[in-house]
A and B are shown apart, each in its own frame.
Chain A
Amino acid sequence: MLRVSQPVKKILVPLISIILGFLVGAIVMLIFSYSPMQAYSSMLRGALGTSSAIGETLRQATPLIFTALGFSVASSAGFFNIGLSGQALAGWIGSIWIALAFPNLPTYILLPLAILVGALAGAITAAVPGVLRAFFGTSEVIVTIMLNYVVLYLSTYLMQNIMPKSFRTSQDATQSISAHASLRMSWLSDLFGGSRINGGLFLALIALVAVWFIMKKTTLGFEIRSVGMNPFASEYAGMSSKRTIIMSMVLSGILAGLGGVVEGLGTYQNFFTQTASLSIGFDGMAVSLLGSGSSVGILLSGILFSVLKIGGLGMQTGAGVPFEIVNIVVASIIFFVAIDYVIGLLFKQRQTRETEQIATQKTQTSTTTSSDIPDNQEKKGGRIS
């Protein structure tokens, strides 16, 4: 057993999870007689080997950072926003719609407008579970899962039946947006060997700082975190938990919506029929869980997961290993993050006087009045009622 301090443990648990996740992937590959070394090295080459590969990896990280930030904001308030993919999809189709409707507006009007509308679409989609949770106590887990599918079917319907026909090239895809609405920057694409990297990356970096600022330095952020820790105490202290619940979901939806916007205006430049929930939704959730909700953590784990995703394609062509091994590794990493309690058992925490006191207090309260204190499981949003 290792003796470590609390902050070191906070870093060690995700690191060990990552190592174990890759180990699981290697074992699966060995069982089917693929070579893990060859696979992982061609993965690294595929993700970071050329300047265009690095560009694609950064491009992939962009929406993941947004959706992960969205997840982390909601979970600071004690909510599980599983609706990230629906909110991102709403943002995607919303921004493309505006871009196609006003193709000739100058860039400095059209681009912000399209981004704003996309963010708004995400916010509205997320506000629904927020309002239902605040006023009816409806589990946001179920509502967001259900809304993912509603938005999925609705997006296809909107594109095929409501959008003017001139916006589409076929039943399954829209026209490409005009250059006025594009997030692509020619100097950036040239720098990274013509990859699809775009200005969304800068937006994502700004969002990382902005979310850190909002959560740590503003009243709203303080209220969100405080409601997440103890809704009853916050209410008693004069905060409106209803307002905070809705605001946190709206903020979360804006960020997820922006994730969709950068996919639309940056990566694909159009909208096309989606047959399943956007993968950036659940991947973003994974990024946030691995990064334990902090801005630096999200940036690093966002890059790690996009290395996996982009490198996975290189691995498939380079080493002949099916791409799906990447998602097995991702799922395993999150599994190990989820059972951090077990991984934490490996370390003995170095106890300072302060933590010792808290620890004794904790054991006292948990043995005597565990039924009287508000159930702190509730804040994880897992309660279905």
Chain B
Amino acid sequence: MNMVSMIALIVSSMLVFSTPLIFTAVGGTFSEHSGVVNVGLEGIMVMGAFSAVVFNLTFADTFGKATPWLALIVAGVVGIAISALHAVATINFRADHIVSGTVINLLAPALSVFLVKAIYAKGQTDNIAQSFGYFSFPGLSKIPVIGQIFFKNTSVMAYIAIVIAIIAWWIQFRTKFGLRLRSVGENPQAADTLGINVYGYKYAGVLLSGLLGGIGGAVFAQSISGNFSAGTIVGQGFISMAAMIFGKWNPIGAMGAALFFGFAQSLSIIGGQLPGISKIPSVYLQCAPYVLTILVLVLFLGKAVGPKANGTNYIKSK
């Protein structure tokens, strides 16, 4: 394997593995900026992956090539639905955020596998007929070296994810909506005093995390796993949460961290094909995202990098 095709292999598999993480991690920043801790991202991804696969299997004949894209919408809606549970519990019903998020993580795998068994009478779905596959950018892929590395036979979803991360950053840090969202997460009392609808913004944050988390799960199912079972989403949601923290609650930072974690994940899978990497025990690459996240948290000691009122319930005074 020559140098360029080796780099191309690394880059394309990194992009494929990072994409679901980018979507989910960016979704997480919306929720946490509104002050709602969302450890339920894992469960949201499970529901997204499940609904996308079921939609894909059912409608692949009807919609053909458009199926995976429509499945994203379905998964996003299902993600919103499951995150609404978290929203109602934490915003209106004063539930502890961690407990409520854990409920989502317990409920989602159980519910999805139950439905798979109820619908297909077996524990695992068939493989989907229409997946995202590879895409070459017309024109751009003709550029020597760079074109082959970045734009030929690559994942188009990854580029969409990167664009979404940039848009999310713009929304959160350059628009009125974003400013208000963050003010609700920093100091809900002050925001309320200024007439901002605190509960409304919290709902917006949590539901957006559900939308993007559901899409993240759908992307994973339709570009990596290809089917759905209890073992489809194992830890990707938590890695996304790690990426969000690693990126210091900034969507672009989260995207960077997700790319890096995707790189680590892909190395543990394609590493065998690469000279040098194959000598590193895969356990190091598997553990890297988690250990790095802990290190980052320790290194930013004392500095409140997260939203100030994150994880607290805001009870509006009468």
Contact = CB atoms under 8 A, between A and B. Distances in A.
Given A156-B283, A322-B114, A132 B235 contact: no
Given A322-B117, A331-B107, A383-B312, A339 B95 contact: yes
Contact of A382 (B103, B297, B301, B311): B311
A384 B93 CA distance: 20
A59 to B, nearest CB: 22
A271 B291 CA distance: 24
B257 interface: no
Interface stretch (B73-81, B210-218, B238-246): B238-246
Nearest to A138: B297
Interface stretch (A141-149, A163-171, A292-300): A141-149
Contacts of B290: 146-147, 149-150
Interface stretch (A38-46, A106-114, A230-238, A281-289): A281-289
B100 to A, nearest CB: 5
B89 A339 contact: yes
B293 A382 contact: no
A328 B298 CA distance: 36
Nearest to B311: A382
Nearest to A32: B118
Contacts of A161: 281, 283
Interface in A263-299: 275-276, 282, 285-286, 289
B94 interface: yes
B99 A289 contact: yes
Interface in A7-37: 28, 32
Q: Is the interface of A mostly helix, strand, loop or mixed?
A: helix
Interface string A367-385: 1000100010100111111
B297 A28 contact: no
A142 B95 contact: no
B74 to A, nearest CB: 19
B124 interface: no
Contacts of A384: 32, 37, 245, 306, 310-311
A246 B291 CA distance: 20
A151 to B, nearest CB: 9
B109 A327 contact: yes
A150 B231 contact: no
A62 to B, nearest CB: 21
A145 B39 contact: yes
B310 A383 contact: yes
Nearest to B242: A146
Nearest to A155: B283
A324 B114 contact: yes
Interface in A324-343: 324-328, 330-332, 334-335, 337-339, 341-342
Nearest to B94: A341
Interface in B302-318: 302, 304-306, 308, 310-313, 317
Interface centre among B238, B283, B304 (most CB of A within 10 A): B283
Nearest to A33: B118
Contacts of B297: 132, 136, 138-139, 142-143
A380 to B, nearest CB: 6
Nearest to B303: A385
B179 interface: no
A332 B102 contact: no
A97 interface: no
Contacts of A146: 238, 242, 290-291, 293-294
A285 B106 CA distance: 11
B234 interface: yes
Contacts of B110: 324-328, 330-331
A147 B294 contact: yes
A366 B105 CA distance: 34
A324 B122 CA distance: 12
A275 B235 CA distance: 11
Contact of A324 (B111, B281, B308): B111
Contacts of B234: 275-276
Contact of B106 (A142, A156, A330, A337): A330
Instruction: List the 9 shortest-distance A-B pairs measured between CB atoms, nearest first.
Output: A327-B110, A382-B311, A331-B107, A324-B114, A157-B283, A146-B290, A322-B117, A339-B93, A331-B106
Interface of A: 28, 32, 80, 82, 132, 136-139, 141-143, 145-147, 149-150, 153-154, 156-157, 161, 275-276, 282, 285-286, 289, 322, 324-328, 330-332, 334-335, 337-339, 341-342, 366-367, 371, 375, 377, 380-385
Interface of B: 32, 37, 39, 85, 89, 93-100, 102-103, 105-107, 109-111, 113-114, 117-118, 189, 231, 234-235, 238, 241-242, 245, 281, 283, 286-287, 290-291, 293-294, 297-298, 301-302, 304-306, 308, 310-313, 317
Given A282-B106, A322-B114, 17 more contacts: A28-B114, A80-B98, A141-B98, A143-B294, A161-B281, A276-B231, A282-B102, A324-B109, A325-B110, A327-B106, A338-B103, A380-B311, A382-B311, A384-B245, A385-B306, A385-B308, A385-B310
7 contacts: A141-B98, A153-B287, A275-B234, A338-B89, A371-B189, A380-B96, A382-B312
